[in-house]
Structure formats: structure tokens, C-alpha cells
């Protein structure tokens, strides 16, 4: 397995950052979460004047064998069909990337379709969809390692292109099922509280999904280690996202965490490398059942709560202006001393 060398941000700069933030021309603490974000990004970049360079949304896509069990309202073909929609610029993530100046990278981690790579899709395909974990492990150990390395490779390219802030998204019909199982295993929260409607299941559909996932859990005979649970139940795009997040943290990049699926990925990543979490900004609380509880388990305070549950990185990109505002506050506000204003707090 690839080894990452992730260290927590050096705390020595914290007092200087706090002093700068507290002496901007405002009452202490009056810009709330923006002040907390500015401190976090300053720590990540080890700078009193951090910057957000060349933001990109990396969207990993793959199909899931568990869809064969009827756990999703949407058919499997929607995965590749939506990728074509991304290419045509017509999806939710497209307008948000255009609005907020994000480049969009579409990565085929394991879509069961022959995609038009000549149109700019990045081909990192490991296999044509994961296996059905209701009957067998979703991935082999070799496939797990390949996904981790290819996710990391994708981030290294982004870093070489000048990016220091990334959001991660996903496209994969059925991926709320492995996310729910990871949530259950890595938090101890009862399985039924981890399972939601996905792309629109009704109450009967959710009960069926719960039955399927409970049976899959009951027949699991692995060693219970973090990597084995990731391998046995994970999706190709999700494991690739784990590799990407770990590489981003090693490179001291800011990670914008999207919704339920991406939160489950950084939860899994943090079980192996807890040092990844200081690099993560949790951008929103989604509408998928269990997301709020998973955020609470991670002691994460999401920036937005808009009822989003689309995935694709939409919540992360939507929240980016707040992150940008925090950095602008640190760089563009004047200090009391320089502006010759008497402190009024």
C-alpha cells in the first residue's frame, strides 16, 4: 500500500495569525466563521498572507455492483449518461464551476461504459464497475492499491498545475450504499441511521436497501481492519478520492469536502491518517440521512445547510466564496495601527 507522509500544520505560526486577525479593523471575533477559516488556511499554508490558487473540482466516477440488488432508484446507465452531461456543460457542477472560477476534472475511475476520452475525460479506469459486495468483496487488494495511487496521481497533476485548493466530487449510481456501510463501521452508528433515500427512494425502497446492506454486513468475513473494510465495501471512485485526499494533505493543500459520499471518504481516510483532517473544510450539511451525524462524529462544523444532496462537488464549490472571503479578510482588511483607528473593543 502506498505510504503518505502527512504532518499536521506547524502550530508555531498560530499566535501571529491570531494577532493579525484580532487586530483587523473590526471587533474581535465579529467576522465569526470567516476568522476561523482564515486561521485554518493560514496554518495550512504557514503564511500570514495565504492565497487560493487555481481552484479545481476533481470529480471521480465509477459504477457499483451493489446496484444489481435494487438499492438505487436510478438505473446504472445514469452514471455514464451524466458524465456526457458534464462534458456538455449542463450539470449542476458545471454552472457552479463556471460561476466560481473552478476548473473541472472528470476522472473515470471505473465506469462500465466506453467513454469519449478524446473529449478531455481523464482515463484512470481500474475495472468496469465494482463487484457486488452483497456476495463478494467489491475490490481486490491490487485494485484497492491501484485506486489509491491513481487518486494520488491525479492530485499531483493538479498541484503541478498550480492548485493549492481542491474540491472533490463523485458520480456513481449506488454510492450512498457503500458510504452508509463505511459510516456504520467507522463511527459505530447503527446501520439503519446511516441509510437514506439516495437519488429518491421512498420508504419501501429504503427498507429494502437497509435489508440488502444488513445482509451484506452479516456475511462479511474479513479482518475488520480499516483497509479491508474500505476494500470490501468501497466503490472505485470513492477509494480513488481517498487517495486524492491523502495526497492533497501530504502536499499541504486545502481540501473542500462535499456531501455524504465525500464525507464518508475523508472519514475513512482519517481512520488511516488522522492528520488529514486539519486540511479539510467541511462545506455543507447535506440532506442525505446520516450526513449530519457523520459530521458530528468528525466534530465538523459545515459552512452551509441548504438541503443539498446532489454530490458532484456542488456543495463544496457553492461554499467556496466563503472560503475566499476569509482569505480576502486576512489580506485586504487594514489593521487598527495602520489605519490609525482606536481599538473599540
Q: Is 312 a catalytic residue?
A: yes
How far is Cα 298 from Cα 175, in angstroms, rounded to an integer? 20
Which tens digit of pLDDT belongs to each residue from 233-260? 999 999 999 999 999 999 999 999 999 9
Quote the cell numbers at residue 318. 457553492
Q: What whole-number distance in Å separates Cα of residue 101 and Cα of residue 249?
A: 22
Cβ(303)–Cβ(157) below 8 Å? no
Provide the pLDDT for residue 85. Answer: 96
Give per-residue burial for 285-308: e unless 16+ CB within 10 Å, then b: bbbbbbbeebbeebebebbbeeeb
Cell match 446511516: residue?
A: 194
Q: Which one from 118, 145, 312, 340 is the annotated catalytic residue?
A: 312
- Which of 67-76, 138-147, 192-201 is the most confident on average? 138-147
List of domains in the chain: 11-50+329-339 (1.10.1610.10), 56-323 (3.40.50.10210)
Closest CA to 167 of 100, 122, 226, 109: 100
In the numeric block, which cell numbers belong to residue 252?
499541504
Express each pLDDT in 266-285 by its tens digit: 999 999 999 999 999 999 99
Query: Distance between CA atoms of 30 and 42, rounded to whole angstroms?
Result: 18
pTM: predicted TM-score of the whole model, two decimal places:
0.96
State pLDDT tens for residues 18-66: 999 999 999 999 999 999 999 999 999 999 999 999 999 999 999 999 9
Residue 313 pLDDT level (bands cut at 50, 70, 90): very high
Q: What is the pLDDT of residues 109-150, one digit of tens each?
A: 999 999 999 999 999 999 999 999 999 999 999 999 999 999
- CA distances 78 to 113, 144, 274, Å, are 11, 24, 34
Amino acid at each position: 500500500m502506498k505510504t503518505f507522509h502527512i504532518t499536521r500544520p506547524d502550530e508555531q505560526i498560530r499566535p501571529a495569525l491570531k494577532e493579525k486577525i484580532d487586530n483587523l479593523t473590526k471587533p474581535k471575533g465579529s467576522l465569526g466563521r470567516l476568522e476561523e477559516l482564515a486561521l485554518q488556511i493560514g496554518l495550512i499554508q504557514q503564511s500570514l498572507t495565504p492565497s487560493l490558487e487555481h481552484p479545481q473540482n476533481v470529480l471521480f466516477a465509477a459504477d457499483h455492483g451493489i446496484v444489481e440488488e435494487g438499492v438505487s432508484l436510478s438505473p446504472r446507465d445514469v452514471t455514464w449518461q451524466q458524465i456526457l452531461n458534464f462534458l456538455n456543460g449542463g450539470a449542476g457542477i458545471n454552472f457552479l464551476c463556471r460561476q466560481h472560477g473552478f476548473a473541472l476534472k472528470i476522472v473515470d475511475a471505473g465506469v462500465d461504459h466506453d467513454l469519449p476520452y478524446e473529449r478531455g475525460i481523464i482515463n484512470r479506469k481500474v475495472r468496469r464497475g465494482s463487484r457486488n459486495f452483497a456476495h463478494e468483496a467489491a475490490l481486490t487488494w491490487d485494485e484497492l492499491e491501484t485506486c489509491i495511487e491513481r487518486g494520488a496521481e491525479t492530485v499531483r497533476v493538479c498541484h503541478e498545475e498550480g492548485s493549492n485548493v481542491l474540491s472533490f466530487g463523485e458520480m456513481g449510481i449506488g454510492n450512498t450504499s457503500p458510504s452508509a456501510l463505511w459510516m456504520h463501521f467507522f463511527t459505530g452508528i447503527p446501520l439503519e441511521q446511516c441509510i437514506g433515500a439516495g437519488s429518491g427512494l421512498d420508504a419501501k425502497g429504503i427498507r429494502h436497501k437497509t435489508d440488502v446492506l444488513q445482509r451484506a454486513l452479516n456475511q462479511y468475513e474479513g479482518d475488520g481492519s480499516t483497509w479491508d473494510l474500505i476494500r470490501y465495501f468501497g466503490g472505485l471512485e470513492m477509494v480513488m478520492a481517498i487517495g486524492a485526499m491523502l495526497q492533497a494533505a501530504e502536499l499541504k493543500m486545502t481540501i473542500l469536502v462535499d456531501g455524504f459520499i465525500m464525507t464518508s471518504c475523508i472519514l475513512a481516510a482519517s481512520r488511516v491518517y488522522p492528520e488529514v483532517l486539519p486540511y479539510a473544510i467541511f462545506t455543507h450539511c447535506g440532506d442525505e440521512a446520516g450526513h449530519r451525524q457523520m459530521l458530528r462524529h468528525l466534530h465538523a462544523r459545515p459552512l452551509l445547510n441548504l438541503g443539498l444532496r446532489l454530490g458532484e462537488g456542488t456543495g463544496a464549490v457553492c461554499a467556496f466564496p466563503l472560503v475566499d472571503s476569509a482569505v480576502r479578510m486576512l489580506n485586504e482588511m487594514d489593521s487598527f495601527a495602520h489605519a490609525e483607528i482606536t481599538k473599540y473593543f
